[in-house]
Amino acid sequence: MKPTIRPILLLAIVLSSFVIPASKSPLANPFLGMWGLEIEGGGVGWLHVNEEKGFLDAELLWIGGSVLPVAHVYLADDNTLVVTRTSNSRKSDERTHVLTHTLRIEKSGESLKGTMTGPGRNGEYQSRFTAKRMPPMPEKPDLSQISYGNPISLFNGGDLTGWELMNPNQTNGFAAENGVLVNNPVQPENGEHISYGNIRTQQEFEDFNLKLEVNVPEGNNSGVYLRGIYEIQVVDSYGKPLDSHNMGALYSRITPDLAAEKPAGEWQSMDITLVDRHVTVILNGKKIIDNEPAWGPTGGAMSAEVLAPGPIYLQGDHGKVSYRNIVLTPVE
């Protein structure tokens, strides 16, 4: 008599024939996650590749400007990711060209390497870059338990001791005037354009609280960079709807919870805390950002090394602005 196979056992045998061995299972996309980009020539970028909405997508920061969604992203093969971003170039009132810039990225060990190509003024340009995965974001710190050291006055009111131009080939528009640090990047009415630069503290810092007062004339803007990585926006945005590009915002990343700006030309106070890559901003006595994570560098960052100490730097190439009473208190 032949042995019989129970129906349940038979079903298990049939189903097992469709199971893919672990060694042959499809691999997770190795590009998923957040990456800090170091761009050849000194620029910094940030790339976030995700499938959060059920499809492959990405956001990109390339040197300056805002973090923006890409035009398209796809896997060319198991080791190559292709990302495209577009911008508009208005040629005339009747004609606008769409410019396409393409990043071709390869996995290189635990890092990435790639190129950005696109239309330039004299043909195609190419920029090379490398990327490292961003470190995990720490838990939100309990700011009530933070201990601080001794306050450090970053501006003595009389000169620019402790500050230096970030690019020595540019012109410094900052000067000390009656106890105020004034930036006035005036262009000559006739003559060659002057390239004004940003200034930074010679000293570098880790986590801290930074207090200052700032005065922005109508239509002007500047920025305060924390550790040379994260820009707190300084701009005349009084009366405008809430936006991540307004006064006190973490530029292009965190929109203030409420509008606390004063009209242009008035002195305004900023109280900024950076602890464990989380940012708190109190503008004119009102908390507008409450211990929110800074996921990556902002446009104009000096470095993508978010765990490294860095300077305070002030934008000097955008417009007229004045600062005073700049005091930093480091976390112990």
Reference 233, options 192, 265, 268, 193; nearest CA is 268
Q: Give Cβ neighbours of residue 73 (< 8 Å, ≥ 6 apart).
A: 49, 56, 57, 58, 81, 82, 83, 84
Is the pLDDT reported for residue 21 higher than 90?
no
Residues 85, 119: Cα–Cα separation, whole Å:
12
- pLDDT above 90 covers a percentage of the chain that reads 84
State the average pLDDT for the chain.
92
Where b means 16+ CB within 10 Å and e means fewer, 139-161 reads eebeeeeeeeeeebebbeeeeee
- pLDDT above 70 covers a percentage of the chain that reads 92
Query: Any idea where the domains of the chain sit in the sequence?
Result: 33-133, 143-330
Indicate the pLDDT class of residue 62, thresholds 50, 70 and 90.
very high
pLDDT at site 27: 57
Indicate the pLDDT class of residue 23, thresholds 50, 70 and 90.
very low
**pLDDT, tens digit, 9 for 90 and up, residues 143-191:** 999 999 999 999 999 999 999 999 999 999 999 999 999 999 999 988 8
Q: Give Cβ neighbours of residue 288 (< 8 Å, ≥ 6 apart).
A: 248, 256, 257, 258, 259, 260, 281, 282
pLDDT at site 122: 85
Class of domain 33-133: mainly beta
Backbone dihedral region for residue 244 (phi beyond 0: left; psi -120 to 50: alpha; all else: beta)? alpha
pLDDT at site 90: 87
Indicate the pLDDT class of residue 216, thresholds 50, 70 and 90.
very high
3-state secondary structure of 18: coil
Give the CATH superfamily of 143-330.
Answer: Exo-inulinase; domain 1 (2.60.120.560)
**pLDDT, tens digit, 9 for 90 and up, residues 77-134:** 999 999 999 999 888 888 999 999 999 999 999 999 999 999 988 889 999 999 999 9
